[in-house]
């Protein structure tokens, strides 16, 4: 899936624009498709096709080649992407279909509907799906979409001696309660080895281990206060 691609990008909102910019900068040929009643694209200086995604004949008019074209569902609402994935999968069983999502639940639905891969914008900072896409173009786009749009930042947070989390397992830290995404752990005992959060090991935290996390400024501050508490 690497190299220059022929891409049909459905949607041209905040996410779609960033994807279009980065994908074209990487040399891919990108056709943009929006709904016929979408007024958000007026004034754009690129060719944008307007269709009714509910009409099969409109989709067929795009002359999609499922063997060569990569289909991105990047519409602003997950419900529309879900409908589009279902429709495209029914019309083009062999096509490669990718979609964006805004929650783990939506991701599950989109995959069940037939998406080959889904970019969960909430967890995209973990780079868990980037390796399956046309990197590095999508990597750069995700940085702009996720960080800038949602006011997120990445930071490293060390486990101090006698911290309330010293000696705890990762599963015992309620990251989601704090609105935090855990990217990886730097284990000092393993020579600064980076352990990614999707590892199956429930890592035991020790003094000087470092958590690589992403979240909003206020949420990171709350977790930091909690971590500084002593046992």
Average pLDDT over residues 22-32: 87
Average pLDDT over residues 100-124: 80
pLDDT tens, 42-67?
556 788 899 988 889 999 999 999 99
pLDDT bin (cut points 50, 70, 90) of residue 98 is: very high
Which of 93-102, 130-139, 158-167 is least confident?
Answer: 130-139
Which of 70-79, 111-120, 144-153 is least confident?
Answer: 144-153
Q: Do domains 6-149 and 152-228 have the same CATH topology?
A: no
pLDDT tens, 188-207?
766 655 665 555 567 888 88
Run of H or E including 185: strand 181-187
pLDDT higher than 50, residue 37:
yes
Across-strand partners of 227?
A: none
Q: What span, in angstroms and rounded, lies between the C-alpha atoms of 33 and 54?
A: 13
Query: Helix axis angle, 78-91 relative to 104-113, nearest 10°?
Result: 20
**The domain 152-228: what is its CATH number?**
3.30.70.1450
Q: What span, in angstroms and rounded, lies between the C-alpha atoms of 170 and 81?
A: 33
Q: What span, in angstroms and rounded, lies between the C-alpha atoms of 165 and 225?
A: 12
Q: How would you label 116-153 residue by residue, b for 16+ Cβ within 10 Å and e otherwise?
A: bbbbbbbbbbbeebbeebbeebbebbbebbbeeeeebe
> Going by C-beta distance under 8 Å and a sequence separation of 6 or more, which residues neighbour residue 224?
157
CATH superfamily name and code, 6-149: NAD(P)-binding Rossmann-like Domain (3.40.50.720)
pTM for the predicted model, two decimal places: 0.54
- pLDDT at residue 70 in the model: 92
- Listed by start position, the domains of the chain span 6-149, 152-228
Strands of the sheet with 210-216, listed across from one edge: 152-158, 210-216, 181-187, 193-196
């Amino acid at each position: 899936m690497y190299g220059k691609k022929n891409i049909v990008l459905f949607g041209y909102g905040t996410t779609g624009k960033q994807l279009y910019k980065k994908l074209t900068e990487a040399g891919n040929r990108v056709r943009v498709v929006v709904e016929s009643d979408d007024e958000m694209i007026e004034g754009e200086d690129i060719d944008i096709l307007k269709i009714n995604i509910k009409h099969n004949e409109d989709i067929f008019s795009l002359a999609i080649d499922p063997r060569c074209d990569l289909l991105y569902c990047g519409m602003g609402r997950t419900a529309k992407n879900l409908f589009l994935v279902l429709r495209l999968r029914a019309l083009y069983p062999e096509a490669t279909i990718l979609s964006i999502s805004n929650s783990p639940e939506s991701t599950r639905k989109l995959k069940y509907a037939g998406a080959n891969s889904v970019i969960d914008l909430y967890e995209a900072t973990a780079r868990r799906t980037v390796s399956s896409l046309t990197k590095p173009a999508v990597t750069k786009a995700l940085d702009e979409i996720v960080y800038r749009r949602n006011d997120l930042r990445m930071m490293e947070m060390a486990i101090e001696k006698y911290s309330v989390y010293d000696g705890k397992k990762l599963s015992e830290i309620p990251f989601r309660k704090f609105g935090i995404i855990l990217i990886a752990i730097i284990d000092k005992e393993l020579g600064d080895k980076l352990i990614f959060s999707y590892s199956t090991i429930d890592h035991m935290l020790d003094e000087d281990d470092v958590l690589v996390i992403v979240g909003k400024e206020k949420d990171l501050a709350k977790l930091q206060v909690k971590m500084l508490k002593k046992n």
